[in-house]
Amino acid sequence: MKRVNSLRRIFVLVAAMNVFAAISPQLGRSQPTGMQPEAEKLLRRMGEYLAGRQQFSLKAENTIEAVLATGQKVQFDSPATLTLSRPNKLRAHRRSDITNQEFFYDGKTLTLYNPKENLYATTSAPATLDETFDFAREKLDVVAPASDLLYKNAADKMLKEASSGFVVGQAVVAGVKCTQLAFRGSEIDWQVWIENGDKPLPRKFVLTSKQVKGEPAFTVVITSWDLTPKISDKDFVFVPPKGAKKIEFLNLTAAGAAAKSQPK
C-alpha cells in the first residue's frame, strides 16, 4: 500500500511538472514589450458593453492581502453586492469580520453606513456616477479599486497608466469560460478575466500594488450578474435606522482605517 501511495504521489508530481513546463514557455512567448492590440480590443469591448448596461446588480467575493512585518501574507475575504442604475445611482454592501459597510448614492448625496457601530456619514455628491467615484477617492479618501470597471470610459481610464498588456489565455472563473488579460503599470499590475461570448462581462479583477512592500494584491471574483434587476429609485436612498448616529465623513473613514490597522 505504501508503495502504491508513493507511486501515486510521484505520478501526480510528474503530471504537475509537465503541465507547468507546457504552460511556462507559452506565457514567456506571449508577453509583448508593449500593448498587444488584441488585449486592448477585448478590454475596450468589455468596457463598452458594461457602459451600455443602464441597470445591473452583481454578487462578488473580495480578497485583500495584508503583508505582515515578517513579510508573510495573510488574506481577508469579504462578500459584496452592488446595484447600479445609470447615470447616477449606486448601492453597495461589503460584509465580513473586518469590513461591514454600506454605500448609498442617490444622485444627490453619498452615504457611508457602518451597521455594526450604527454610524453613518452623508455628504453632497456630484450629479453622475463617474464624478462621484472621483469625488469619493479624491475628497473623502474612500477608495473602491474595482470601481474602475464601472466608469463609462472604463478602458480609457484603466489603460491610461498601463505600459503593456497581453492576452494570457483561456480560463474558467466561477464556472464561466473567460479570456484572461494581464497589464503592467508603473505602480500597479492588474489582470482581468472577461467572459467569452456575446456578454463580455468582467468576471475577475486583480490589482497588485508594486509600491507597497511585499506587493499585496486585491482580488474581486464576480460570482453572478443580473442585467435586468427589479429596482426602484428608493433602493438607493439611505434611511437612518433607529438609533443611528450621524458623524462627519472624515471621522468615519479615519475610524475605519484605524480599525483595519489593528492586529487581528
Three-class DSSP labels, 20-44? HHHHHHHHHHHCCCCECHHHHHHHH
What is the spatial distance between Cα 248 and Cα 237, in angstroms, rounded to a whole number? 19
Q: Return the bridge partners of 220, or none.
A: 62, 205
Strands (E) located in 68-175: 73-85, 89-95, 100-105, 109-114, 119-124, 162-173
Specify the pLDDT at position 206: 96
Phi, psi of 237 (to 5 degrees): -95, 125
Specify the pLDDT at position 31: 60
Specify the pLDDT at position 10: 39
Domain boundaries, the chain: 47-164+225-261
Specify the pLDDT at position 67: 93
**Three cell numbers, residue 195:** 467572459
Q: Return the bridge partners of 14, or none.
A: none
Burial 9-43 (b: 16+ CB within 10 A, else e): eeeeeeeeeeeeeeeeeeeeeeeeeebbeebbebb
**Three cell numbers, residue 89:** 445611482
Contact between 125 and 109 (Cβ < 8 Å): yes
Q: Which of 205, 212, 210 has its CA nearest to residue 182?
A: 205
Specify the pLDDT at position 240: 96
In which element (H, E) is residue 171 found? strand 162-173
pLDDT in tens, the chain (264 residues): 554 454 344 334 444 444 444 444 445 554 667 999 999 999 999 999 999 999 999 999 999 999 999 999 999 999 999 999 999 999 999 987 777 899 999 999 999 999 999 999 999 999 999 999 999 988 888 877 689 999 999 999 999 989 999 999 999 999 999 999 999 999 999 999 999 999 999 999 999 999 889 999 999 999 999 999 999 999 999 999 999 999 988 655 544 444 444 443
Specify the pLDDT at position 32: 61
Q: Which of 192, 84, 88 has its CA nearest to residue 145?
A: 192
Q: What is the CATH number of domain 47-164+225-261?
A: 2.50.20.10
Specify the pLDDT at position 145: 66
Q: Which of 78, 79, 85 has its CA nearest to residue 57?
A: 85
Specify the pLDDT at position 96: 79
Phi, psi of 10 (to 5 degrees): -65, -40
Q: Which amino acid is at 173?
A: V
What is the spatial distance between Cα 19 and Cα 11, in angstroms, rounded to a whole number? 12
Q: Which amino acid is at 45?
A: R
